[in-house]
Amino acid sequence: MSGHGFHVHGPHDHELETAQQGGHANDHGSGGMINQIALFTAIIATVGALFGYMGGATQANAGLFKNNAALKKTEASNQWNYFQAKSTKQALAELARDLAPEDKKATYQAKIDRYEKEKGEIKTVADKLETEANVWDQQSDEQMHQHHRWAQSTTVLQISIALAAIALLTKKKWLEYAMFAAGGVGLVVGALAAIHI
């Protein structure tokens, strides 16, 4: 600045003015890009954290459901073992009936009839347990599928965040577009997970 009212604008004055306006003199409008990417990254990171939580929850559910299926299968197996034991007793009673004198045959026939009735009850319980095991297995498979969707979504969102960092460092517009595209894909896959597709 001179004493006669004439103002000379120095380079450092220009830098200070530009910094106050949110950018650098040689960035040529990149302040908007920086703010846009920063906001996008914060939003995507938050959504990614929620999707990651949902992925963990569905994986835990899948494990729990698979465990319930295994328990029901074990119970069904125990029932089938019990059924087999009754069948063996029934076969022995039939053999005894066939070899017994006429006056004892009615006693063995009563045992055979009782074993047949008990086998029917045991079979009903075993079939019910197997059906329950299949339902738990199906629910576990559905939860694992949903878990994979959440994991895919979280992965794509993390890629989007990485692209955001690279776009900030390189100031390449095409990387910013790739970042937005990856973020959009991650959100779509997350929506598919939310609606169980």
Q: What is the pLDDT of residues 52-71, one digit of tens each?
A: 999 999 999 999 999 999 99
Q: What is the pTM of this model?
A: 0.70
Q: Where are the alpha helices (DSSP H) in the chain?
A: 11-20, 30-99, 102-170, 173-194
Give the pLDDT confidence score for residue 32 in this predicted structure: 77
Rounded Cα distance between 68 and 122, Å, is 21
| Three-state DSSP class for residue 22 | coil
pLDDT in tens, 74-127: 999 999 999 999 999 999 999 999 999 999 999 999 999 999 999 999 999 999
Looking at the predicted structure, is the pLDDT value of residue 13 above 60? no
Q: What percent of the chain has pLDDT over 70?
A: 84
Rounded Cα distance between 133 and 162, Å, is 43
Looking at the predicted structure, is the pLDDT value of residue 16 above 70? no
Give the pLDDT confidence score for residue 94 in this predicted structure: 93
Q: Average pLDDT, stretch 167-196?
A: 93
Eight-class DSSP state of 7? -
Give the pLDDT confidence score for residue 33 in this predicted structure: 82
Give the pLDDT confidence score for residue 187 in this predicted structure: 94
Residue corresponding to tokens 């087999």: 84
Token pair listed for 142: 């559905």
CA angle 108, 112, 118 (to 5 degrees): 140
pLDDT in tens, 22-57: 544 444 455 678 889 999 999 999 999 999 999 999
Q: Average pLDDT, stretch 159-188?
A: 93
- Give 132-180 as a DSSP string: HHHHHHHHHHHHHHHHHHHHHHHHHHHHHHHHHHHHHHH--HHHHHHHH
